[in-house]
Structure 1
Amino acid sequence: MQVEWWSIIPFVVLLGCVAVLPLLPATERAWESNGVKLLVALACGLPVAIWFIAAGHGGEVVHALFEYVQFIMLLLALFVVSGGIFLAGDIRATPRNNTIFLAIGGLIASFIGTTGAAMLLIRPLLNTNRERAHRVHTVVFTIFIVANCGGLLTPLGDPPLFLGFLRGVPFEWTFRLLPEWLVVNALLLLTYYALDRREYARETPEAIAFDTTDVSPLRIKGGINFVFFALIIAAVAFLPSLDLHAIETGHATFAQMVPWRELVFVAAAALSFVVGDRDVRFEMNQFTWAPILEVAALFVGIFLAMIPALNFLGQIAPTLPLNEITFFVFSGGLSAFLDNAPTYATFFEMAAQLPGEPRIGLAPGVPEAYLVSISLGSVLCGAVSYIGNGPNFMTKAVADSAGVNMPSFGGYLRWSLTYLVPILVVMVSLFIADGPVWTILGLLLGAAIAARAVWLARHHVHPSEIE
C-alpha cells in the first residue's frame, strides 16, 4: 500500500509522548497510570488500523497484531520467571566483586533477556552495596551492560533481535556479533572497575568496616525457575509459531495453525507463578505486574502506528544515503531516544528494499552487512537514554525505591555520552567502518579509554584494599 509522509504522524506522536510526557511536570503524574498509557497508545494506533482495514489492507493489521502478541508473550514469560528467582546473601561490595556481578549479568542477558537479567541482578547488586554511599555509577553501568549491551548474542537477549528472528533471521546468526559484543562489554567493564575503585576510595572507613563484617554466603532461592528459563530458550530456538501465510492461503496444516512457541511461553510463566515460592516472588523481589503492563499498553499502539511508517520508509529507502555506517547511526540514534524494537523493525524493512548479498531472513531478505549495523545500533544504542529500552526505566525504578539518588533524564544522558558513546565509536571504527584510517582511529581511541581506566584504577585505592 502506497502511503504519504503524513501517514507516519501517529507513530511520531506516540513515540514523542513516550519520550516527553514522563518528563513534563503537568503530565508526569498522569503518565504513571498504565491506563493513560493505553489510551494514548490506542488513540494513535486504532485510527491507523481502521484506515488500513477500510482500504482493504487488513492483512497488514493482522500481521502487526500477531507480531505484537509474539513479542509480548516472550517478554511476559521472561518477566514472570525472573521474578521468581532471588539471590540471597551478602558479599563484600568491592570493585572486583561488583565487576564480576556485572560481567555475569552481561553474559546471561543474551540467554534470559536483558529484562530478565536486569530484574534478576539489580536487587542483589543493590543489597550487596547497601553499606556504600556511592552507588549511582553501579546502577548506570548495570543499565549499560546488563539491560542492553549484554543482550546482543541471541534473539532472546533483546526485543529487536527477537523481531528479527520473527522475520526469518536464524537463531544462531547473532553469534556472529561476538567480537563486537566482547569489545563493547570488555571496555565497559574495565571502565566500570576503574570508576568503582575511585568511588570505593571515597567511602568512609565506617562504611567499609560495616561492609566487611556484614557478610553472608550467596545462595539462590527459587532455583526451579531456571528450568522454566530453559523451556523458554528451547521454545524460541526450536518450536514454530503458527504460520500466518499458510493460513491466509488456505494451505495450513493443523501443526501450522497452532502457536506452539507461545503456548510454551504461557506454560513456563504459569508454572513459575504457581509452583514457585510466593515469598521469594512477592516478599523478596516485591513482584508487581505494573512494568509488563506498561510495556503491553504502549506497544499495542506502537505496533499499529508503525504500519504506515514501515511502508513509507520502504518506499523512500532507495533514495536515502544508506550504507553500513549510516544504518548504524540512523537505527542507533532513534533507538537511543525512542524504543529500539520498532526502530529495528523500521530499518529492517528499509534494508530489505536495497540490493546486496548475502541476504538474511525471509524473502527478499536483508543484506547481511546492513543487518549487522541495524542489530548493533538498535541493541547497543538502546542504553544511551532511559527511554531507549524497556529495562532501563525498570532498573532505575528499582534503584530509586532502594534509596539510590538516580540521575535525571539529562543527567543519565551525560553519563552515556561520557562513557558509553566513545566505546561505541571504537566498535564502529573497528568493525563497521571500512579502511585503515578507521581501524587506526578505533585502536587509538580504545587504547585511550583503556589507559584512562588503568590510571583511575591505580590512583584511587581505599586503604582497606592495601595489604
Structure 2
Amino acid sequence: MTLPFVILLLMIATGPLFYAHFWHHNYGKIAALLGLITGSYYIFVLHDTTTLIHAGEEYFSFIGLLTPLFIASGGILIRIHKKATPMLNSAILIIGAFLANLMATTGASMLLIRPFMKINKGRLKPYHIIFFIFVVSNIGGVLTPIGDPPLFLGFLKGVPFFWTLTHLWHFWIIGVGLVVVVFFIIDSRNKDGEDDSTEMSGKLEFVGLKSLIYILATVGCIFLDPAVITSGPLHDILKTIKGYTFHLFGLREILFFAIAFVAYKTSNKEAMKENDFNFEPILEVAYLFIGIFLTMQPALSLIGNFAATNGDKLDVNTFYWATGALSGVLDNAPTYLNFLSAALGKFGVSFPVPHDLIASGAEGFRYLEAISVAAVFFGAMTYIGNAPNFMVKSIAEQNGVEMPAFAQYAVKYSIPILVPIFVIVWFIL
C-alpha cells in the first residue's frame, strides 16, 4: 500500500514542472485525497486506528512546532547595510549553522532567509537558496537535540543531551565547511551586481527583536515531555494528558499554537511588512505534509519490520547509507528511531539507550554516530527531507526566485554536491 506515497512524491516532483497551474490550485486536495486512501486502508482493511492516531499526533506536533517559529521569525527584521560578497554570504551560512542548534533548523531558516535574499538583490540565484537549505535548514543542526527532530527523539529515548555536541562536532565542521567552500567557489563566479555603486553604511539593524522571546518560548516548550520532566506535578499533568490516546493535542501542542497566536497579534508591523510576511509557506507545508504523514505509514512499517528482522546482519556502513537514503524521502525522525532500535537490538538491548553502549570506544558508539549524522545530513537531499526546505523554497519563489523542480534539485544540486561530501563523512565514521 505504498502506491499513494509514490504517487504523491511523483506529483510533487512533476507538478510544478509540467502542470504548474493545476498543481498550484489543487496540491492540497491531492495530498488529502491520497492520505484519505491510505487512511481508509488502515481503518477498513487492516482495522488499525492506532497507527493513524499516532500519525495524527506526530503531524499536529510537527505543525505546532513550525507555526510559532515561522510567525515569530517573520516578525523580526534584519537589515544588513552591506554589499553582498561571497565572504559575507558564506559567513551568514555559518552563522545560520550555529543558530540552527539553538533555535532549530526551522527557526534559523525563517530568521535568516529574508535578509540573505535582500543583501543579494540583483545577484540572487537559485543556488543561493539551495545552499542555504543545505547548510542552515539541515546540516547545521546536528550539534544539539534542539537542532533537528531525530536528535530530539534520540534525547527522549536516552541519548544524553550533550552527546551530539561532544561526538558529532567534527562531522559538523566537515559537512558545513565543505558545503560552504563549494558555495564560496560558485558564488565567486557570480559577477552580477558588481557595477552597483550604491553606498552602503555597513550597519546592522534589528527591528522586532521582542519576537525572539516567542522563538525561545517555543524551543522551551519542546522539552515539555514526560520523558524529560521525570517527576513533580508537571510530570503528572503531562503524563495524564499524553495518556489519552484519542487526544491529538497535548499540553505542548496547545502552547505552540498559543505562542503562534500571541506572536502574530503582537508582532512588529513594520517588520512584517518589510519581510513581505504571509501564510502561504506554512500553509503549503501543512497541506502537503498531512498527505505525506499519512501515505508514508506503510513505507515506515516496511522499514521498521526490515530493521527489526535484519538489524543484526547490518554493519555500520549499511546503517549510515540506509538511514540517509530513506531520510531524504521519508520523515527522518521515525527513520532514525527505527534504525536506532535495530542498532540497539544488535547488542541485545532496547530503549532507553544505555549510556555505556554509546560512550566513546563502546560497541554502539559508531552506530549512533552513523544514524544521527545520516538522518540530519541527508534531509538536504530533497525538498521533503526536512520541513524548512519547503518553507524556504516557498519564500524564495514568492520573492521571484525560479527554484528548480523536485527532480532538478536532486540531479543538478544535491546529488553532485552533497553525495561526494557524504562519502567523505562516511570514510571518517
Q: TM-score, normalised by structure 2?
A: 0.81
Q: Does structure 2 conserve the Cα–Cα contact (< 8 Å) formed by 1:90 and 1:215?
A: yes
Q: Does structure 2 conserve the Cα–Cα contact (< 8 Å) formed by 1:241 and 1:261?
A: no
> Does residue 206 of structure 1 match 2:195?
yes
Find 2:314's aligned residue among 316, 322, 326.
Answer: 322
Residues 1:66 and 1:98: Cα distance change in structure 2 (over 3 Å): same
Partner of 2:95: 104
- Ranges in structure 2 where 5+ consecutive residues have no aligned partner: 229-234, 242-249, 359-363
Q: Does structure 2 conserve the Cα–Cα contact (< 8 Å) formed by 1:84 and 1:277?
A: yes
> Partner amino acid for 1:417?
I
1:137 deviates by 3.2
List per-residue Cα deviations over 1:253-302 (Å, max 9, x = no partner).
44422434334323322221122213322x12222222222323333343
Partner of 2:372: 375
1:11 deviates by 4.1
Partners of 2:382 and 2:297 in 1: how far apart? 25
Q: Does structure 1 conserve the Cα–Cα contact (< 8 Å) formed by 2:39 and 2:52?
A: no
Partners of 1:95 and 1:277 in 2: how far apart? 31
> Does residue 300 of structure 1 match 2:253?
no
Matches within 5 A, 1:46-445: 46-51=39-44, 55=47, 57-131=48-122, 133=123, 135-165=125-155, 167=157, 169-175=159-165, 176-199=167-190, 202-203=191-192, 205-207=194-196, 209-210=197-198, 213-215=199-201, 217-237=203-223, 239-240=224-225, 253-258=236-241, 259-281=250-272, 283-317=273-307, 318-319=309-310, 322-341=314-333, 343-348=335-340, 350-351=342-343, 354-356=345-347, 361=352, 369-413=366-410, 414-431=412-429
Partners of 1:307 and 1:403 in 2: how far apart? 35
> Partner amino acid for 2:281?
P
Residues 1:77 and 1:162: Cα distance change in structure 2 (over 3 Å): farther
Partners of 1:407 and 1:8 in 2: how far apart? 26
Partners of 1:323 and 1:426 in 2: how far apart? 18
Q: Does structure 1 conserve the Cα–Cα contact (< 8 Å) formed by 2:323 and 2:371?
A: yes
1:169 deviates by 4.6
For the pair shown, which has the larger CA radius of gyration, 1 or 2? Answer: 1
Partners of 2:298 and 2:85 in 1: how far apart? 51
Partner of 2:36: 43
Partner of 2:247: none
1:162 deviates by 4.0
Partner of 1:4: none
- SS of 1:219's partner is strand
1:420 deviates by 2.1
Partner of 1:29: 22
Give the CA RMSD over aligned residues: 3.2
Residues 1:257 and 1:240: Cα distance change in structure 2 (over 3 Å): same
Partners of 1:368 and 1:11 in 2: how far apart? 34
1:150 deviates by 0.8
Q: Percent identity?
A: 36
Partner of 1:447: none
Residues 1:83 and 1:162: Cα distance change in structure 2 (over 3 Å): farther
